[in-house]
Amino acid sequence: MATFHCSEMKKSLVILIITLFAFSANVFAQSRSGLKINEVMVINENNAIDDFGQRHAWIELFNSTHAPLEISSVYITDDKNNPIKYPVPLGDVNTRIPKRQHVIFWADGCPSRGTFHLNFTLKPGQENWIGVYDADGITLIDEVTIPATLCADQSYARSIDGKGEWEIRNDVGDKYITPSSNNVIRDVNNKIETFAKQDPHGFSMALMAMGVVFSALLVLCLSFLLISKIGSAVARRNKRESQGVTAEEVKGNLADSGEEIAAIVMALHEHLDAHDQESTILTINKVRRSYSPWSSKIYGMRRLPK
């Protein structure tokens, strides 16, 4: 009994360790590394206005993942020596950024104005370093150094949301300044446009897609040819070892088809006059008729006055 418990405990321990490992990997996968600094404006003269009707420097954060991201308790700072300068407060529903969406933080030095107002300002005409730290205050999630040359109403932005090279934008041509919206504005699905242009008749699609479908099933087919060969070899070896027969005899026996095996089993069944074991227990269930006042005769009868 003690041995049984010991082995059971060992088994449980192994399962627990594997589960913990799996969960820790999962936690890592869902960390806030997907949070990116996406666009920054230092001197805001004619650009976005905050909820108090005023213009300030702003920092746009972008959730580059395809799942909502909760950013409360991360830190935003402009000081490498003080990574926990501005903690994003808990308890504000707006700190949950939907997938592939943005939030704007105002660098106005007035944190009392709300969650999205930082307790520092950005310095015009100087290099500004901005960092975002995770809740531990140690893990740097993202950082950027804004060049001192950035003029009024210019922004420093990633060319592609969340991952592109940083560039100066001045709202001329396609260098849009885009507070709280995508840095790359698309009005069409590029993939579909490309297919419509490059492959108007669908030949390339048919060729590529059939190639992939065939490859996938061909790989599966070859794998199973291999697996069945390995399986047969193992079965032959086991039979050879257990029955002491030659390889040729084993090969002949293994070639039996399902139909042949079924025929042999049927013949044995007939010959031995064997039957399945039956329990010989007869169960009689009571038949219940469910009662309902709708079908009850008593309610349909006239009652005698008392």
Partner 1 sequence: MEQSFGDFIVSNLTQFWEFTGFYNATFPHFVMLAVGLFFIWLAIKKNFEPMLLVPIGFGILIGNIPFNTEAGLEIGIYEQGSVLNILYNGVSAGWYPPLIFLGIGAMTDFSALIANPKLMLIGAAAQFGIFGAYMVALAIGFAPDQAGAIAIIGGADGPTAIFLSSKLAPNLMGAIAVSAYSYMALVPVIQPPIMRLLTTKNERLIKMKPARAVSQNEKIIFPIVGLLLTCFVVPTGLPLLGMLFFGNLLRECGVTTRLAKTASNALTDIVTILLGMTVGASTQATTFLTKETIFIFFLGFMAFIIASTSGVLFVKLFNLFLRKDQKINPLIGNAGVSAVPMSARISNNLGLEYDPSNYLLMHAMGPNVAGVIGSAVAAGVLLGFLA
Binding site for partner 1 (CB under 8 A): 189, 191-192, 195-196, 199-203, 205-206, 208-210, 212-225, 227-228, 231, 235, 255-261
Question: CA 83, 86, 89, 92: dihedral to nearest 10 degrees?
Answer: -120
Which whole-number Å values give the CA distances from 116 to 75, 109, 135, 255, 279, in the listed order? Answer: 12, 11, 17, 74, 74
Say which DSSP state 117 is in. B
* CB closer to partner 1, 140 vs 226: 226
Compute the least distance from the CB of residue 269 to partner 1, in Å. 18
- How far is C-alpha 270 from the geometric centre of its chain's CA atoms? 58
- Longest CA pairwise span in the chain (Å): 104
Q: Which is nearer to partner 1, 152 or 265 (CB)?
A: 265
Which residue reads 């010959």 in tokens? 271
Q: Which is nearer to partner 1, 23 or 214 (CB)?
A: 214
* Cα 34 from Cα 141, distance rounded (Å): 8
Q: Are strands 35-41 and 75-77 parallel, antiparallel or unpaired?
A: unpaired
CB 100 within 8 A of CB 66: yes
Q: Output 6 or 221, the one with its CB closest to partner 1.
A: 221
Least separation, in Å, of the C-beta of 147 and partner 1?
A: 38
- Inter-residue long-range contacts of 27-33, CB under 8 Å, 24+ positions, other chains counted: 30/67, 31/134, 32/69, 32/71, 32/74, 32/134, 32/141, 33/141
Q: Which residue, 173 or 258, is less far from partner 1 as judged by CB?
A: 258
- 18/235 with CB nearer partner 1: 235
Minimum CB distance to partner 1, residue 23 (Å): 20
Report the residue number, 6 or 210, with the smaller CB distance to partner 1. Answer: 210
Residue 125 CA to its chain's centroid (Å): 42
What single-letter amino acid sits at 52? F
Distance CA 287, CA 272 (A): 41
Please, what is the minimum distance in Å from the beta carbon of residue 243 to partner 1?
A: 18
* Minimum distance of partner 1 from residue 164's CB (angstroms): 21
Report, in Å, the least distance between residue 98 CB and partner 1. 16
Q: How far is the CB of 190 from partner 1 (least distance, A)?
A: 11
